[in-house]
Every structure is written in C-alpha cells, then in structure tokens.
Amino acid sequence: MPGTILITGSNRGIGLEMTRQFADDGWQVLACCRDVPGAHELRALREKYAHVRLFQLDVTRYDQMTALSKALWDQPIDILVNNAGYYGPKGVAFGQVDVDEWRKVLESNTIAPYKMAETFARNVADSERRVMAVLSSKVGSIADNTSGGGYIYRTSKTAVNQVVKSLSIDLREQGVSVMALHPGWVKTQMGGPNALISVEESVAGLKKLLLGADLEHSGRFYNYDGSEIPW
C-alpha cells in the first residue's frame, strides 16, 4: 500500500473526488464525513475499494474528533487533508454581514483545521511522508484582494493561512510539512455551475502537490496547478 491519507468532508465535491483518486491509486483512505449513512457516493466507493474506511466526523465537534483520534491511535497518517469547508451566506455586501454566520464559518474553516492538526500531529509525524494540507482559497490572499467584500469567507481563509504558517514552523522539527492549497474555481456545490474547472482536474493537480510535498514546500500557499500564491 502506498500510504494512508485522511480527508475531511469526503462525501461530496473535492473531498469525494480526492477519496476516489487516492483509492484508485491503492492508498488507504480514512474518509471522514458528517453523515456516513447518507453519504451514498462515498459508500459506493467503500464497496469498490476495501482500503477506503469511513468515519463520522463533524469537524466542529471536538468530541467526535477525540473519539476518532482514539480509534486511529496507532495509525500513521502520511497525508492529512483539511478539506471540509463552509462558505456561509453568498453575495453579502458591506452592511449586511451576519455575525453569527461569520462565527460558524470561522469555526469550520479556521479553528477546525487547527484542532485537526493538534489532534493528529502525532499520527502524521509517525508516518513516512508527514504532510498536512488545508484547502484554503485564493480569496483569502490579502495581496490578491482587489474587489473587496466577502468578509466572512475571505477572513476564514486568510486566518487559516496564518494557521498553516505557524504550524509549518511549530511542526518542522518533527519533519511535518504543512501547506495551504487553492483548488481553483471548481464545479462543486460551493463553486457552482459557472466554475472554471472540474473536480477531476482540480484534484489531479492537488494530488501532485500532496505527493511532491516536503519541508521545502512547507509554510507556502499553492494553486492546484503548482504555481505559488502570494499571502
């Protein structure tokens, strides 16, 4: 077996396609999602590939995270992918921001990836590849912000980029590489039908980055095509 990858939010969109592509390459995939019984496409993958294992995980439920870490206590994790994400209300302009939604988005997009890192750092450090990644977004780049707005989602991704940077410094001694990844504008429920690329294309690019990652790439922000994005 080439290795073990843990993916959050693996029941649809980018997470589901990542599960499919890594499973197809023979990886053990620890596929996590909120509603395992309702995850029909993911369960179909489980039927096809014996090395796909399903786990219940709402990334904002730390009791579930702790239970999962106990279930995976002796399991080295080569690649940990914080993919689960929530956009929050769309088209919200200055003056219309719902702060309760903002807190919810920060909880899933910023705090949860940090908690995942804290919970599973030992498993990743015990593996061969020792890679962590967060699905961030180009809209979290301050340098790239020329259009304003998007207060809720933008700040959640900007903040998680800072989490990635600090993790890359704090976990370097253990040989763990930590990257922020932009998947492109992808045709998923979040990206919508007008998005520019398919999940297959996005994940093929992300997979290359994940498989090529080492400490030289740690603490950096990459587009799915391998180019670097300014913070």
User: 3 vs 13, which CB is nearer to ligand NAP?
Assistant: 13
Q: Which residues are registered as beta bridge partners of 221?
A: 180
158 binds ligand NAP (CB under 6 A): no
- Work out whether 108 is an interface residue with ligand NAP (CB under 6 A): yes
Q: Is 50 helix (H, G, I), strand (E, B) or coil?
A: coil
Q: Please, which residues bridge with residue 177 across strands?
A: 131
Rounded-to-integer distance, Cα 77 and Cα 5, Å: 6
CA distances from 74 to 178, 194, 211 (A): 21, 43, 22
Residue 111 CB, shortest distance to ligand NAP, in Å, is 11
* Cα distance between residue 188 and residue 32, in whole Å: 18
What whole-number distance in Å separates Cα of residue 49 and Cα of residue 195? 30
Q: Which of 150, 183, 205, 219 binds ligand NAP (CB under 6 A)?
A: 183
Give me the least distance between CB of 195 and ligand NAP, in Å please.
5
Given 21, 25, 34, 76, the residue binding ligand NAP (CB under 6 A) = 34
**Whose Cβ is closer to ligand NAP: residue 13's or residue 205's?**
13
Using the minimum distance from each CB to ligand NAP, give the nearer residue, 12 or 172. Answer: 12
One residue of 186, 206, 209, 210 binding ligand NAP per CB under 6 A: 186
CA-based nearest residue to 72, from 84, 59, 54: 54
Could you say which of 3, 191, 205, 219 contacts ligand NAP (CB under 6 A)?
Answer: 191
Q: Is 19 in the site for ligand NAP (CB under 6 A)?
A: no
Neighbouring C-beta atoms of residue 175, cutoff 10 Å? 14
Tell me the site size for ligand NAP, rule CB under 6 A.
29
Return the residue of 4, 5, 7, 9 that touches ligand NAP, per CB under 6 A: 9
The answer to whether 88 and 105 are in contact (CB under 8 A) is: yes
